[in-house]
Amino acid sequence: MSDAPLSLPPIPPNDFREFVATYFDAVRRRFPRAEAILGKWNEEDLLPGLSDFDARLIFDDAMADRDWLEMSVAVGEAHAELCLARPAWARKLEHTPGINLSWAEVLDRPFYYPEFLQWSFHGGDASRYGAVWGELASRGWSVEDELHHLKRFLAYFGPYQRGIDPPVNLGVFEAKYPLHSRMMHYYLPPLQSGLSLLGRRTIRGKLEALRTARGMLGSLRCVDTVLHALEHHYEVPLYYREPFLGSLEEALHADLRKLFLELRGSITAVEVDRGSDDPAPLRAELKRSRVDLPTQVFTGLRFSRTMKGRLLFYARAIPHFDSGWLIDNELRRMDASFLVQPLRGYLLLRGDEPPPAVEAMVERLRGELFDAAEARAILRFHGEASAPYRESERPERARAVAAAFDDFYLAIGRLVADVRRLATAGGARS
């Protein structure tokens, strides 16, 4: 950081409740079958001026494949409308909902997704939310919960990489992002997952995780430091200076290393050397695990459900909304998340060894799971999503992938019915 005087903007009014109500109304005007809006984490974890809103939408149980595609476009249009009308909400509107489900899908046992227990209710059918999430909570801690939080902890575990998390659509609050990124984006998610593993229950919120850490693992050095920074909306100028910022990064990583050494004793789903402080063997063991393959397959499908609308929203020329890095980020991971991982997971569930190339995996399933037209649709999407492009071509590339999305989505959805059959038959869970 520079030695020039810092200009840290004061905390703005907290308008998240107004935002969520306005946003949900805009969605339902375009697609009335949305019955509830939820959000990741707790409401207290949404920091005005800095946090986006990780929405999750729940729809009626009659949703069919083509309905999800219609919903995707409608939600993307709601984002574009609000972003044009309310420029100050650009950050909050950055992502269309990451996961969209029907009520029945939330309770579909073969496709249970542990992140469900990290969602808070924000509007819609409160009674049904209470019943469905009460049933989820009553199931208790499971091997799927353990694997989810272990993978998540290990995904974040490591020294902070400067430049990994660029500030986007933050306006004047970009000045506070160095601390927000390190604390809220790269320290608190693994802290939350690590403590969930230790306590064998899901901790829903980030601030909740900090408070829990005080009693569960008092040796962590950064808990009070982070709480102090959050309580003051990062208005702690010393933390931004070197060598203090570098020291903060080292201390945050040291906390996570302490947590890793503690949580090894809570792992039961995979083999772990409880005397080793090297996470590499554990990461390798997780890659070999097949316990949660049905969830891996279905996760690609449910995360893809608003991607067409998201890409069309990003391709719009909205003057105060910077979508360049956002397009790059989606296209960088889309092919792997929506196609490669579901195909590999499905083949592994069947007992097949997946070939490395997408084309070979599709060919293996052509005539059995996919007809010729469906195979072509899948490969067209693969080609569009993985094609190189110049920075100036981002909107064009986003629109091209969106144009290939419908037929791909309808084709790849064939995996789900067969994965459910395999899971129900006992081929996936032991």
- What pTM was computed for the model? 0.94
Q: Among 288, 311, 327, where does a domain finish?
A: 288
- Residue 104 has a pLDDT of 96
Same domain, 295 and 207: no
Within this chain, do residues 278 and 295 fall inside the same structural domain, yes or no? no
pLDDT of residue 288: 85
Last residue of a domain, one of 90, 105, 139: 139
For 325-345, the pLDDT digits (tens) are 999 999 999 999 999 999 999
Which run of H or of E encompasses 254?
helix 244-263
The total number of residues written for the chain in this structure: 430
Q: Residues 281, 306: one domain? A: no
Are the beta carbons of 401 and 331 closer than 8 angstroms?
Answer: yes
Specify whether 414 is located in the same domain as 294. yes
Residues 6+ apart with CB under 8 A from 379: 358, 359, 362
pLDDT score at 427: 46
C-beta separation of 236 from 228 below 8 A = yes
User: Do both 272 and 358 map to the same domain?
Assistant: no
Q: Which residues of the chain have pLDDT under 70?
A: 1-5, 426-430
**CATH code, 19:** 1.10.357
pLDDT at 298: 85
Whether residue 375 is found in the same domain as residue 424: yes
| Domain that residue 226 falls in | 143-288
* Overall domain count for the chain: 3
Residues 63 and 21 occupy one common structural domain: yes
The pLDDT score that the predictor gives to residue 428 is 43
Give residue 5's pLDDT.
61
- 169 plus 280 within the same structural domain: yes
Dump pLDDT digits (tens) for 408-430.
Answer: 999 998 888 888 888 877 644 43
Question: CA torsion sign, 219 to 220 to 226 to 231?
Answer: negative
- By the 8 A CB rule, do 169 and 216 touch? no
Asked whether residue 2 falls in the same domain as residue 128, the answer is yes
CA distances from 140 to 133, 143, 200, 216, 274 (A): 12, 10, 9, 20, 25
| Start-to-end CA span in the chain (Å) | 51
The residue among 269, 288, 307 that closes a domain is 288
pLDDT, one tens digit per residue, over 56-114 is: 999 999 999 999 999 999 999 999 999 999 999 999 999 999 899 999 999 998 889 99
Q: Are residues 258 and 362 in the same domain?
A: no
Instruction: Look up tokens 């080793």; give the residue.
Output: 276
Pairing of strands 34-40, 119-124: antiparallel
Residue 153 shares a structural domain with residue 269: yes
> In terms of domains, do 172 and 154 share one?
yes
Decide if 175 contacts 8 (C-beta within 8 A).
yes
